[in-house]
Structure 1
Amino acid sequence: MQEKEDGQIPSVYIEADSVPSAYYRLLSAVHKNGYPLRTQYDRKNPDGTYLDPPGRDAKAYVRINNPFAQPRFPPISYCEIGKYIAEILGAKDHLVVPFDELKKIIKENKELSAMKWPYCYHQRLAAYPCSDGTTINQLDSIIEKLGKDPISRRAVAITSVPEIDLPLKEDAPCLRELRLRLIKDKHGRLVLNSHTTWRSRDLYKAWGDNVIGLTNLVQIEIVPALEKKLEEKIIMGPYTEDVSSLHIYGQDYTQKHADKLFKTFPTEESFLGRSMTSEYARDALVVPQLEELRKEDTWKFTPESLKIIDNLIAGYNSGTFLP
């Protein structure tokens, strides 16, 4: 690992057997060895001095051998995870502004309202916007490619739309790619290898929720379709990712108690001890939050959005899949 003072962002590699184990090791590595870095988000006093310490930044490669190993849900989360899973599965795709309207907003240097989004991950993956007004369902394309050639290296979905993202005032997508490959193990079983690539990642407040959400997307929307197409059972294999900028913000040390993290959880075992199984998280968090989301008027859900939420609730309650 490079020295933190020489202007070079360090790289970390983490391998773990579960999501919480990987999360703890990443938090420890970036906290201890990340480059101390100021960002445009740092708060300042009226005199220009900083309110918060520098954040920590690193490049990261992560491998989780079994992303559905239990316990699966880390004790740190800054979202309502059930509602976030619904978003990752497409429940809020209707909030994304059409391509031509987005270009007009950008050209006129306007800002989007809270109920008009420039993108969401599922929308970019399942309805990627083209300049001619058409869209591409990249998830369907992945299923089609792997259905014909399981070891294909072309089962890739992207989120980047440079024409929109580069001039956009709001943040561009942090998630950049989803890659999937099916490999036969020594017993002849098909194992799905999942990989994501990230431009930027909030380690302390978003990493665990991102992983939980995206692995739910793969197991619910992609795996059943592949099993139907191939007429074979598919095993969820390792989840890997590379992150260009994995960071803990300086203000999270002072405002979100990141400075006390390793006092609260001095060891990986203590972190795992407070993590939740999928069954517990389903009953205590995921399903109740989905049921609450379904009643919310704020989002003006379409019939398709409500169907997504209802299918998630039914699938989790029946045990068809676990979050």
Structure 2
Amino acid sequence: MYCIKKPSVRASYEELVKEVLKNGEDMITEDGQKCREIRNTVIEITNPKLKSISPKYPLGKKAVEQYTNNLLYGSENVFSYDYHSRLFKYPVNNKEINQIDFIVEKLKEQQNSRRCVAITWQPNIDIEVSNKDHGSVPCLQFVQFLIRDNKLYQTVLFRSNDLAVAFVSNALGLIALGEMVAEKVGVDYGTYTHHSVSMHIYIDRDRDYIEKYFPESLKYLE
């Protein structure tokens, strides 16, 4: 387990890459790719308003903007799943439940609530996909909001997190979601806590990226 507290996503990202490469354990994924992972990584971002993007993040600002827009407002592209639909249009018994609207209204009514949660996993879809050789299921599983001292605190849980190419977009997009909720509820946004059960780097797939941006860590791959 690895826990860090940093003011920004940028600062946590640059430290996490080095930590996973140095102290992570190697594993082979279901589709045969080699990863180095740390199990149960918890990151607390203490000043989420700091949104600068690390120059070492290979996908850059446009990827963050697109991910955030798709998360908050949806995408016209067709995926096996998308987070906007799972959070804002979760299907149950031929109905669509807007989990974020529920959270906003619940927090307005009861600021001490611990029931302001949203989930993404749909067993009727995701178990079937998981039993196939190919197909994607949600990495983000759970989002919870608490209000304490008139501030909104956000915690998310990922079952699996691709650190090199996904974490930065994931975290900044979800912070934007938290800021949206805080604004609608009428409170300040506090901290963002990101829990990844498997925080990993694809060390063969992303070796060129590691060599370019983190050359000092290449020695840990020998």
Equivalent residues, number = 209
Maintained 8 Å contact 1:42/1:250: no
Richer in strand (by share): 2
Letter in 2 for 1:241: H
Counterpart of 1:68 (choices 46, 49, 58) is 49
Q: Which runs of 5+ in 1 are unaligned?
A: 1-10, 44-53, 96-114, 185-189, 228-233, 266-323
In structure 2, what is the Cα distance between the partners aligned to 1:141 and 1:158? 12
What corresponds to 1:240 in structure 2? 193
In structure 1, what is the Cα distance between the partners aligned to 2:102 and 2:167? 27
Say if 2:166 is the partner of 1:206. yes
Q: Which structure has the larger Rg over C-alpha atoms?
A: 1
Counterpart of 1:25 (choices 5, 15, 38) is 15
Letter in 1 for 2:204: Q
What corresponds to 1:122 in structure 2? 84
What corresponds to 2:98 in structure 1? 137
Letter in 1 for 2:48: P
Change (3 A) 1:80 1:242: closer
Maintained 8 Å contact 1:57/1:248: yes
In structure 2, what is the Cα distance between the partners aligned to 1:206 and 1:260? 18
Q: Tell me the SS of whatever aligns to 2:164.
A: helix
In structure 2, what is the Cα distance between the partners aligned to 1:138 and 1:84? 19
What corresponds to 2:37 in structure 1? 57
In structure 1, what is the Cα distance between the partners aligned to 2:20 and 2:153? 25
What corresponds to 1:83 in structure 2? 66
Maintained 8 Å contact 2:58/2:209: no
Change (3 A) 1:77 1:212: farther
TM-score by length of 2: 0.87
Q: Mapping of 1:1-323 within 5 angstroms?
A: 11-42=1-32, 54-59=34-39, 60-69=41-50, 72-75=52-55, 76-78=57-59, 80-92=63-75, 95=76, 115-130=77-92, 132-168=93-129, 169-184=134-149, 190-220=150-180, 222-227=181-186, 234-254=187-207, 256-263=208-215
Maintained 8 Å contact 1:125/1:157: yes
| Runs of 4+ in structure 1 over 3 Å off | 40-43
RMSD (Å), alpha carbons: 1.9
In structure 1, what is the Cα distance between the partners aligned to 2:166 and 2:142? 17
In structure 2, what is the Cα distance between the partners aligned to 1:39 and 1:135? 33
Q: Name the structure, 1 or 2, with higher relative contact order (CA <8 Å, separation 6+).
A: 2
Q: Which runs of 5+ in 2 are unaligned?
A: 218-222
TM-score by length of 1: 0.61
In structure 2, what is the Cα distance between the partners aligned to 1:262 and 1:83? 25
